[in-house]
Amino acid sequence: MDQLALFDAPPWSRVIGVFDLETTGVDVAADRIVTAHVGLLDGAGSVLRARDWLADPGIAIPEGATAVHGVTTEHARTHGQPARTVTAEVIAALTELFDAGIPVVAYNAPFDFSMLKNEALRHGVTPIVSPAPVIDPLVMDKAYDRWRRGKRTLSVVAEHYAVRLDDAHEAAADAVAAGRVALALADRFAPWLPPTVQELHTRQIAWARAQAASLTDYFIQIGRLAPEERLDGSWPIR
């Protein structure tokens, strides 16, 4: 007879969506989408469905961004779809998941969803303004393992949870790794998880706000921020 797990993984972990963008930079208002991935994983982390996009962002891709994700301006202009087309198709793929009640995993969700929203507004596409339900392994990991030392980049956190990530900063690899980290979190912290994905989404809003406030206080203490400055803790979109 198979041994039963002491705590069952939450129902939402049986099928999850995954989402990631690679971009021209880190300014969600001014920078542009270069590559995108939206996929579907089962509860074991196997890929059920996947779709990738390459966009011509309409601006030059800085050398620093190319060094991160490997896409040059020339390659994007030659092989990429129009940015408006990519934005609309990514939004349609995500909307399909949300409409089906499937949670979408995005590591540091406010970056990807805010970037996508601003691209939509730029190109006259109806944006996703309230993505839900979203699962953000960065927020969850900080909440459930608050005092662990070290960086919380995707590559570091993936290694901590024994999730393989061979091609960091490649949209598909990052999206799938983030999804598998979310599944690892669901397994490890099952006894403490809220009963529904909707409640988990709501709790992450509060966790993200508290994490930003704590980091703000630390940055003020070390002189990185002025006392009147505050980090934006809005989640999952700004």
DSSP state of 151: -
CA 121/CA 56 separation, integer angstroms: 17
Note the pTM of the prediction, 2 decimals: 0.95
Q: Determine the pLDDT at residue 199.
A: 98
Q: Determine the pLDDT at residue 168.
A: 84
CA 59/CA 88 separation, integer angstroms: 18
The residue type found at 136 is D
To which residue do tokens 């939004």 refer?
91
Report residue 169 CA to chain centroid gap.
12
Q: Determine the pLDDT at residue 5.
A: 53
How many residues comprise the chain? 238
Integer CA distances (angstroms), 189 to 23, 141, 154, 238, in order: 32, 10, 18, 28
Q: Determine the pLDDT at residue 6.
A: 54
Contact between 94 and 69 under an 8 Å Cβ cutoff? The reply is no
Q: Determine the pLDDT at residue 162.
A: 97
Q: Are strands 47-56 and 15-23 parallel, antiparallel or unpaired?
A: unpaired
Average pLDDT of adjacent 10-residue blocks, the chain of 238 residues: 59 97 98 98 98 98 96 98 98 98 98 98 98 98 96 97 92 98 97 96 98 97 96 97
Helices (H), the chain: 63-69, 73-79, 83-99, 109-123, 137-144, 154-160, 171-188, 197-221
Contact between 23 and 122 under an 8 Å Cβ cutoff? The reply is no
